[in-house]
Amino acid sequence: MTKTALITGASSGIGLALARQFAGEGWNLVLVARRQAQLEHLAKQLKDEFGVNSHCIAIDLSKENSARVLHDEVRFRNLEIDCLVNNAGRGHYGAFIDQPREISEETLYLNITTLTSLCHLFGKEFSNRGNGYILNIASVAAFIPGPGMAIYNATKSYVLSLSRALHAELADDGVTVTASCPGPTESEFFDKAGTDNLKAMEYIKLMPASQVAKEAYRALMKGQSVVVHGVLNKMMTETTRWLPRSWVAPMVKSLMR
């Protein structure tokens, strides 16, 4: 029987690459993002290329109760989800105190509240059924404080910690939970975050979203708790573990200028 994966933020970047990865593995899809036209275009592409069926749900997951609305729509369409992919997220560059409060609150809601609610709503179904997968897209930013992107890094630390906990909690119920931690990736993220002129961008080579998707899918199927993408990113996460904590934030701050 063909399995179905629900992917948030599926219209671009890592989400789009994950949709193609799952489709290539024979999964049917529920594609979720704000832009209906792009979702429908993607669904047609995936049908033509891989022969899979896709349902499109256009919704802004940064809005209150959006997780419940999405879950209700899935139930209304009588869809059984086998894998939840929490990819939708956002970040904004700038000093914390200069960020508009409404933007910060929407970021927190999307990156934390909606993700947590979806994990609970679908995770409970998976647990009761005795099988299922949850793939949460965190970031290498989860491992370090982020002066200049303080809220984004903090939310990704939450996603990583939650994913590790759920990996342990749900393992006995037959549910696999994996946190994917990519570094800078080819996507719309940097355009929207306003990081184009940062010093750090001079030294960064963006990883193809397709590579992130392939590695994340493989880690999920292997039952890994966490996957960090890229040799340099793995080295960074290991190195920062051993540096004095008082050093790390100032080092990041110097790069985020």
What is the per-residue pLDDT across 86-133, written as a single tens digit (0 to 9) for each?
Answer: 999 999 889 889 999 999 999 999 999 999 999 999 999 999 999 999
pTM equals 0.87
- What percent of the chain has pLDDT above 70? 82
The total number of structural domains that make up the chain: 1
Q: Which domain holds residue 216?
A: 4-255
With b for 16 or more beta-carbon neighbours within 10 A and e for fewer, the 57-77 pattern comes to: bebebbeeebbeebbeebeee
Mean pLDDT, the chain, rounded, equals 89
Q: Is 152 a catalytic residue?
A: yes
Of the residues 93, 109, 133, 152, which is catalytic? 152
CATH number of the domain bearing residue 109: 3.40.50.720
